[in-house]
Amino acid sequence: MSIKITLPDNSVKEFDAGITTEGVAKAIANSLAKKAVAGKFNAQLIALNQPISEDGALEIITKDSADGLNVLRQTGAFALAAAIKALHPEVKLGQGEATDDGFFYDTDRQEGQLTVDQLPAISDKINALVKANAPIEAVSMSKADAKKAFADEPYKLELIDAAAGDTINGYQLGDFFDFEEAVVLPSLKDLKHFTLLSVAGAYWQGKSSNPMLQRIYATAYFKEADLEADAKQRQEARDRDHRAIGRDLDLFFVDPKAGSGLPYWMPNGATIRRVIERYIIDKELADGYEHVYTPVLANLDLYKTSGHWAHYREDMFPPMDMGDGEMLELRPMNCPSHIQIYNHHIRSYRELPLRIAELGMMHRYEKSGALSGLQRVREMTLNDGHTFVALDQVQDEFKKILRLIMDVYEDFNISDYTFRLSYRDPKNTEKYFDDDEMWTRSQSMLKGAMDDLGLDYYEAEGEAAFYGPKLDIQTKTALGNEETMSTIQLDFMLPERFDLTYVGKDGQEHRPVMIHRGIVGTMERFIAYLTEIYKGAFPTWLAPKQVEIIPVSLDEHLDYAKLIETEMRKAGLRVELDARNEKMGYKIREAQTQKIPYTVVVGEKEVNSAAVSVRRYGESEAEEMPANMFVDSVKAEIKNYSRDGKQKRGAGKNL
């Protein structure tokens, strides 16, 4: 019996029934067969040696594809489990998966979980299995037989019970069998370039109500060069991890005993945050915003009216019953609070645009497993703002907001960003406010504004807020990942729900349009972003300590050091005098370790000439200059946002 196989170029070839993907690849070219690792038959991934017995479309998956790498890593997870069971038969296996950057396997052991010290032995065992190159055979069995095979594996039994159908599929390698639906390679010969990375706790199937297992992380590539590049990237990630830098520079900490996801800002971190907050407030005041303070608590009815309770209830903390019928809620968003500010007075068209801004504290009910340093927290302060405008003011106000955002980016030296227009998914009526006319109108206005500005953008369906479309400004992190830094959102819904009005020129009431905008997101996430971008070496204007003064001799030069410290403080510099009884070389090295922009050493020569010996962070040579000249140069650098004397380019002035 013959079957017809349609290839990606739409050519059709006949083969005997039972041919495998590998067989098809060999029939086309031996070079293709050498690169083949799996097949995709009728859009379904299949093993390289799985027989094909019917007509269909076949794509040959090769080593240089994302699917091919996924198959290798799934094979790595299988081999990891086999090695663990060979060395530690008492370990109970959970589940292993390939991921975007590697693979993992979850394990459990009653007498103590596997540790990072045991990874080298497990790695050696995997290498031995690879060297043996025994075949991996696909096996199918009934659920009843599978339960017998995994009688001592409670997590596998749970997976078997949850599996659809009456048959369980898996793979056999020697005496080791694993219940596995994903595709793996026919042998381990290509699993030569792998590394076991780390171990960490992980709830079984990601549910905090389940037991905590031990997850072993690893990665694999077909080429050694790719594995080496991955190792360098991971080291770079470790070097830039804001959590590690935050610890080393004493910026912040999170103590689960005091509350998970609730950062404590140490003086250094608090200084960085305060500088940013003052900067943002000054920028917004100069741009016509009125800054307010609003409560972090509000009546639950406020969020029912806004729609947050219906759409984001799972991300909100449980309401607090005050005992008299009033239910208070920790706010997840600031917009209903700013609506209260708008609604407190009768508004006239003469007041529009009315711009309200706040560094508003919010709370989100994040699960413990999702929390991460400053990037995912339960309490956060958003650089938030809302503008209330007449319909004919939308485009000009949009342009003004975008100019402000790009101006701020210029000052923080953020240049790698793109624009995304985020629309609703019209099929998702549960997530998005159901008003086709509102969505059509607001999305066309946003698109029209971007077209008028002549800016490049891309469109993303399903990324809008529940109440309206938005422009998301996507930035690249230090490691090349994309995240949303800023947003501008049009909103016709909340003014309607809260019955917002203004008195127009005609003396009649009209409905304003509400524009939500965030310039740098939350203080927490923005500072995490900056910490990783700068690798902890903050530019002078942001650095918690800008100058470290070190006297050569405490007995002879301390008085002069104190004198220039006083002058620097009067000039507004953040300066510290190191008067500890330690060797000068040790103090200089420590100042470099703390990434302080300037280390100033003063000795006899500097005392006699009213000078300082200045060493910039990251440089080995010191420069002597008059003390007053140094102070003036640092002040100029701070004023110019540490741009090395370059003049500001006027970001966004052509918008």
User: What pLDDT, in 10s, does the model give residues 75-131?
Assistant: 999 999 999 999 999 999 999 999 999 999 999 998 889 999 999 999 999 999 999
Q: Angle 141-144-149 (CA atoms, 0-180°, nearest 5)?
A: 70
CB atoms closer than 10 angstroms to residue 284: 22
Q: Which of 365-379, 483-497, 604-618, 634-648 has the lowest mean pLDDT?
A: 634-648
Model pLDDT, residue 278: 97
Quick one: which H or E segment has residue 450? helix 436-453
- Give the Cα separation of 315 and 309 in Å (integer): 9
pLDDT at 403 over 70: yes
Model pLDDT, residue 433: 65
* Range list of β-strands (E), 82-127: 92-99, 102-108
Q: For residues 18 and 53, is the Cβ–Cβ distance under 8 A?
A: yes
Model pLDDT, residue 249: 96
pLDDT, tens only, 321-334:
999 889 999 999 99
Choose among 396, 432, 392, 344: nearest CA to 512: 392
Average pLDDT over residues 180-185: 89
Paired strand residues for 419: 473
pLDDT, tens only, 190-224:
999 999 999 998 889 888 788 999 999 999 999 99
pLDDT, tens only, 517-526:
999 999 999 9
CA atoms within 13 A on the CB side of 279: 22
Quick one: which H or E segment has residue 419? strand 417-423
Q: Which residues contact 588 (CB under 8 A, 6 or more apart)?
A: 550, 599, 601, 615
Residue 242 labelled as part of a binding site:
no
- Give the Cα separation of 339 and 292 in Å (integer): 12
pLDDT at 285 over 60: yes
pLDDT-based confidence at 642, cuts 50/70/90? confident
Quick one: which H or E segment has residue 406? helix 394-411
pLDDT at 429 over 80: no
Average pLDDT over residues 241-264: 94
Look at residue 389 and give its three-state secondary structure: strand
Report CA dihedral (289, 293, 296, 297) to the nearest 10 degrees: -110
pLDDT, tens only, 124-177:
999 999 999 989 999 999 999 999 999 999 999 999 998 888 899 999 999 999
pLDDT at 48 over 70: yes
152 sits in the region (left: phi over 0; alpha: psi -120 to 50; else beta) called alpha
pLDDT at 654 over 60: no
Tokens 């994309």, residue located: 482
pLDDT at 419 over 70: yes
CA distances 401 to 253, 471, 545, Å, are 34, 11, 32
For 14, phi then psi, to 5°, come to -100, 140
Positive or negative: CA dihedral 451, 456, 462, 465:
negative
Residue 335 labelled as part of a binding site:
yes
pLDDT at 648 over 50: no
Burial grade of 417 (CB within 10 A; 0-12, 13-18, 19 or more): middle
pLDDT-based confidence at 652, cuts 50/70/90? very low
- Give the Cα separation of 603 and 568 in Å (integer): 18
- Give the Cα separation of 155 and 6 in Å (integer): 41
pLDDT-based confidence at 644, cuts 50/70/90? low
Q: For residues 60 and 24, is the Cβ–Cβ distance under 8 A?
A: yes
pLDDT-based confidence at 430, cuts 50/70/90? low
Q: Which residues contact 276 (CB under 8 A, 6 or more apart)?
A: 520, 523, 526, 527, 542
Q: For residues 319 and 270, is the Cβ–Cβ distance under 8 A?
A: no
CA distances 520 to 473, 480, 536, Å, are 10, 18, 19
Position 123, amino acid: S
Q: For residues 156 and 204, is the Cβ–Cβ distance under 8 A?
A: no
Model pLDDT, residue 444: 84
Max CA pair span of the chain: 101
pLDDT at 432 over 80: no
Residue 386 labelled as part of a binding site:
yes
pLDDT, tens only, 100-110:
999 999 999 98
Q: What is the pTM of this model?
A: 0.83
CB atoms closer than 10 angstroms to residue 367: 15
Q: Which residues contact 364 (CB under 8 A, 6 or more apart)?
A: 315, 316, 332, 377, 378, 380
Model pLDDT, residue 579: 93
